[in-house]
Amino acid sequence: MTLPTEQRITLSHHLTLTAQSWGASDAPPLLTLHGWLDNAGSYAFLAPLLAERWRVIALELPGHGHSSHLPAGINYHYVDYVSAVLAAADALQLERYTLLGHSLGAGIASWWRRRNRKASSSCI
C-alpha cells in the first residue's frame, strides 16, 4: 500500500484541517470527503488505486481525524462543513477538481455542486 503525504490547511485562527494526499502533484485533483464517523483513513485502500489517474486529496472535516475541533460552545452544522470544504479547496488553490464523497461526504459533495461551478462531483 502506498503511504500518503499529510498536509495541514489553515482556514482561520481557530480552524486547521488535515488532508492526506496520494498521486502526482500535476495529476487532476480528486478531493475526497469521508462519512460522519470517519476520517481521511476511509480512503487508505482506494486512494492508491485512484492515484494512478488522480491526485487524491482526502480531506478531514472539522472535528474529525487530525483536523482541529471547533471551539467549545460552537456546534457542528452541515452547512458549515460545506463552507469548510469550499475554503479548503480555495486554500489548496484548486482551479478545477472532482469531489468524491461517502455518506456525509456525499451529501456535502451534492450540496457543493449546486454552489460551485469549479467542481464536478461523484457521490457513493
Catalytic residue set: 103
* Predicted confidence band of residue 124 (pLDDT cuts 50, 70, 90): very low
Beta bridge partners of 6: 20
Question: What pLDDT digit, counting tens, does each position of 8-41 carry?
Answer: 999 988 899 999 999 999 999 999 999 999 999 9
**H or E segment and range at residue 6:** strand 5-12
**At CA 9, angle to CA 23 and CA 96, rounded to 5?**
55
pTM of the model: 0.88
Q: Where are the alpha helices (DSSP H) in 9-100?
A: 47-50, 78-91
pLDDT for 115 beyond 50: yes
Question: What pLDDT digit, counting tens, does each position of 77-110 carry?
Answer: 888 899 999 999 999 999 889 999 999 999 998 8
Of 16-25, 72-81, 114-123, which one has max mean pLDDT?
Answer: 16-25
pLDDT for 122 beyond 60: no
